[in-house]
Amino acid sequence: MALPARQGLGPPASLRDLGHHSNDSAQRIAPIGVAQGDCRDGGLKVVFMQVPPFSLTEQLQHLGEELDQAVLQVLRSGQYIGGSVIAAFESEFAASVGTDFAIGCNSGTDALILALRGLGIGPGDEVITCSFSFFATAEAISAVGATPVFVDVEEGSYLIDLDQLEAAITPATKALLPVHLFGRPVDMERVCAIAAAHGLQVVEDCAQATGASWAGRPVGSWGDVGCFSFFPTKNLGGAGDGGAVTCNNPELAARIRELAVHGMPRRYLHTSLGYNSRLDAIQAAVLRVKLPHLPSWVERRRGLAQTYHQTLGSRLEIHLPEAGPAGHSWNQFVVRVPRCPGASACAGSCTPAADSANYGLPEASCRDWLKQELQAAGVTTIIYYPIPIHRQPAYADLGYVPGSLPRTEQLCAEVLSLPIFPELAAEQQQRVIEVLSALAGKVQSQACASVAA
């Protein structure tokens, strides 16, 4: 029996049949707008199915015994820094990427810094990248003393606009840093062609794209270096921070490896100023257990993305991400929520977004409203990213004014990441689809009028 709507709630007809009993409990999925536990149907408490944006619970249950054994073996060995476990993971990861070398390090951020340092990029140099990314993309460039040069992205792919990239090249440009954002690979054939024509180096930011490929070739194998993150939410995640740099040049690999251990080619000989940035043996052990599962996990992500596309494709009130190339690994499924059409349609019920006013960005109140309503219905979403790098206070000195990168700024006001991870259950994804479908029409038809009583 479907749950009745509260008086004054006025949900659309499609919401009236959202309630159902699970097979093994009396728990019921509540209609949108009914707060958890605030009403009863024949004495039955109404609760929401909670859908997280990411969860490791099922993965850890499946791999728990193998992970326990791998970690315990390292603990009993006493070899926590360096050693055979790390060497084995580096070899296996390099093989999965299709490169001759992989150098483990402390994080994806350190991978970028070590790669740039290894390539000799530093003060006076410019590196062209995009502003629609995590802050570390640009932070690494600045950390080596170089200057990030931001260009806009394509509206449909969210990736760096390669026409604008080529137009931004100057005599000071030393490298291109494409970001395979949300798991979608950049056109690396074209990037490498541009780099070759101008004598530039290519650093691939693969933090969100482990397991992705372009033209059948893994990301991280196209440029001079590939930089990966093993943060737990990534496609291949550790039990903490971790990262790796991949390359095919033996001299470059040796230089990066030395930089990661205080610029030390052999014990107590220091030929350069390096860092302490090592992947520890426990992380390597965890990653070795998980690496063989990466292909199936990526395929599962692709299947979830396909389901979202097939079931939400007719919802014109939100914009779905492009399907992209076959090698997309779908670390995130990022929809866009257009701005409200006007103050009259919004009826004054939207709360202006603080980030929009504070950082000179387009109004994000409609997206923020949808996020809040999804959360109220038990569906947690995340905004990647609310403030573009070029409008961050840390880069105010670069002089990027509001409107400098209009597509990037518009995306930051519209994007919303739906739950997607390999262990997302079919009924959880269906809940996301049902709630979003019911709310999507309100984004423009009611333009942010709250569904709460």
**Does residue 54 lie in a domain region?**
no
Q: Residue 10 sits in which domain range?
A: 1-48
In this model, does residue 338 exceed pLDDT 80? yes
User: What pLDDT, on a 0 to 100 scale, did the predictor assign at position 24?
Assistant: 32
Which residue shows structure tokens 């019921």? 28
> What mean pLDDT is predicted for residues 9-26?
31
What mean pLDDT value characterizes the chain?
A: 88
| Cα 319 to Cα 139, 335, 373, 441, 443, distances in angstroms | 30, 6, 18, 12, 12
Count the alpha carbons within 13 Å of 41 in the hemisphere toward its beta carbon: 19
**Of the residues 270, 292, 314, the one at which a domain ends:** 292
Same domain, 282 and 308: no
**How many domains would you assign to the chain?**
3
**Does residue 451 lie in a domain region?**
no
Least confident piece of the model among 29-43, 293-307, 344-358: 29-43
Tens of pLDDT, residue by residue over 381-422, are 999 999 999 999 999 999 999 999 999 999 999 999 999 999
Same domain, 128 and 249: yes
Q: In b/e form, how buried is each residue of 238-266, taking b as 16+ CB within 10 angstroms?
A: bbebbbbbbbebeebbebbbbbbbebbee
Same domain, 125 and 206: yes
Same domain, 177 and 97: yes
Least confident piece of the model among 260-269, 343-352, 424-433: 343-352
Same domain, 399 and 311: yes
In this model, does residue 15 exceed pLDDT 90? no
CB of 310 within 8 A of CB of 113?
Answer: no
Same domain, 331 and 233: no
Tens of pLDDT, residue by residue over 115-152, are 999 999 999 999 999 999 999 999 999 999 999 999 99
- Residue 100's domain is classified under what CATH number? 3.40.640.10
User: What pLDDT, on a 0 to 100 scale, did the predictor assign at position 340?
Assistant: 53
Contacts of 235 (CB under 8 A, 6+ apart): 183, 208, 209, 210, 211, 212, 294, 297, 298, 301, 329, 331
Q: What is the C-alpha separation between 393 and 134, in angstroms, rounded?
A: 15
Quote the tokens at residue 131. 């502003």
**Does residue 56 lie in a domain region?**
no
In this model, does residue 13 exceed pLDDT 50? no
**Of the residues 260, 292, 324, the one at which a domain ends:** 292
**Does residue 142 lie in a domain region?**
yes
User: What pLDDT, on a 0 to 100 scale, did the predictor assign at position 44?
Assistant: 55
> What mean pLDDT is predicted for residues 348-376?
88
Most confidently predicted of 6-20, 408-422, 435-449: 408-422
User: What pLDDT, on a 0 to 100 scale, did the predictor assign at position 403?
Assistant: 97
| Cα 417 to Cα 220, 305, 411, 448, distances in angstroms | 24, 12, 12, 19
Same domain, 111 and 230: yes
- Residue 432's domain is classified under what CATH number? 3.90.1150.10
Same domain, 302 and 385: yes
Same domain, 226 and 90: yes
Same domain, 31 and 67: no
Least confident piece of the model among 203-207, 281-285, 354-358: 354-358
User: What pLDDT, on a 0 to 100 scale, did the predictor assign at position 443?
Assistant: 55
Tens of pLDDT, residue by residue over 48-80, are 799 999 999 999 999 999 999 999 999 999 999
User: What pLDDT, on a 0 to 100 scale, did the predictor assign at position 176?
Assistant: 98
Start-to-end CA distance of the chain, whole Å, equals: 22
Strand 173-176 to 126-130 pairing: parallel
Same domain, 254 and 368: no
**Does residue 66 lie in a domain region?**
yes
User: What pLDDT, on a 0 to 100 scale, did the predictor assign at position 45?
Assistant: 53
Handedness of CA 209, 215, 216, 218 (dihedral sign): negative
Tens of pLDDT, residue by residue over 143-188, are 999 999 999 999 999 999 999 999 999 999 999 999 999 999 999 9
Count the alpha carbons within 13 Å of 117 in the hemisphere toward its beta carbon: 23
Q: What is the C-alpha separation between 117 and 113, in angstroms, rounded?
A: 6
Same domain, 352 and 409: yes
**Does residue 373 lie in a domain region?**
yes
**Does residue 55 lie in a domain region?**
no
Least confident piece of the model among 12-26, 245-259, 292-306, 313-327: 12-26
Global model pTM greater than 0.85: yes
**Of the residues 258, 292, 326, the one at which a domain ends:** 292
**Does residue 397 lie in a domain region?**
yes
